[in-house]
Amino acid sequence: MGTGRIDTGRAALLQQIAPRGLLLVLSLGLASAACEADVFKYVDSEGNIYFSDEPLHGKNLKLEWKRTSRRLAAENREQSKAELEQRARAMARVKARLDGESLSISTRPSEPVSGSMAVRRARYRHLIDRNAARFGLSADLLHAVIRTESAYKANALSHAGACGLMQLMPATARRFKVNSIWDPAENIRGGAEYLRFLLNLFDGDLRLALAGYNAGEGAVKKYGYQIPPYRETQDYVRKVLRHLASERLADNS
């Protein structure tokens, strides 16, 4: 045997193709065989890859691994399964993004505020304007959130324990140093500051900020920076966007 000569096995594959492609060829071919054949992978000094069902000989060859055909077939199945799952997750992210975008694209304005709600709205307008300016928000957005959260009722209390005009949870109130959660001025200030935080966190994406306000920013992160697949949260985002469209329509009328 001269230097550099390669003594191939009876079913050796001497093809310079991607390793994953070779594994696929081998696993498809050998998985159908009844025998438990061994498969050898070699690499020569120039980086060429060789697969064989028998040992190869040559001074410039290095054995990388030896596996059974059954193991190769199992590995290929696992790899294929992982790739399918990865593609499915990617498609789910795309679908979630499109669904989220449709929330704003298809949003219709809600009915204008009227009656007793309009009276309450006027009562807190100065606080809303002040905090909108303080945190770089639109007053329309704060109105839309407050209308959705409490219908401008300063004594609103949810079954989950959210309080006041902007339905702050006690933990959120503490986080943003709200001293009196039932004080309209403090409540609106804390809610506005939280909205600003969420908009900064999600790069100005209003839909994600609203989803975070409803479900917590952790839920938005958990689902790949998409609106979480919670019916309540998705309905909440739609509702706020409808009220926001109504506010803007009123401003332009």
Q: Is 101 left (phi over 0), alpha (psi -120 to 50) or beta?
A: alpha
| Cβ proximity of 4 and 50 under 8 Å | no
Active-site annotation holder among 36, 149, 193, 247: 149
Residues 90-116 pLDDT 10s: 655 555 554 555 554 446 787 878 899
Architecture of domain 113-252: Orthogonal Bundle (1.10)
pLDDT at res. 97: 55
Mean pLDDT of 47-68: 80
Q: What distance in Å separates the CA atoms of residue 232 and residue 218, rounded to the nearest whole number?
A: 16
Residues 156-205 pLDDT 10s: 999 999 999 999 999 999 999 999 999 999 999 999 999 999 999 999 99
* Rounded alpha-carbon distances, angstroms, from residue 53 to 68, 72, 230: 9, 12, 53
The residue among 55, 43, 44 whose CA lies nearest residue 19 is 43
- How many Cβ atoms sit within 10 Å of the Cβ of residue 170? 12
Say whether pLDDT at 220 is over 90. Answer: yes
Q: What is the mean pLDDT of the chain?
A: 81
Mean pLDDT of 231-245: 95
Helices (H), ranges, 151-230: 170-175, 184-201, 206-215, 217-222
pLDDT at res. 90: 62
Residue 157 sits at φ, ψ, to 5 deg, of -135, 120
Say whether pLDDT at 30 is over 50. Answer: no
For residue 46, indicate whether it is catalytic: no
For residue 34, the 8-state DSSP code is S
Predicted model pTM: 0.60
Q: Quote the percentage of the chain above a pLDDT of 70.
A: 77
Helices (H), ranges, the chain: 19-31, 69-105, 115-134, 139-150, 170-175, 184-201, 206-215, 217-222, 231-252
Say whether pLDDT at 46 is over 70. Answer: yes
Mean pLDDT of 208-234: 96
Delimit the domains of the chain by residue range.
1-106, 113-252
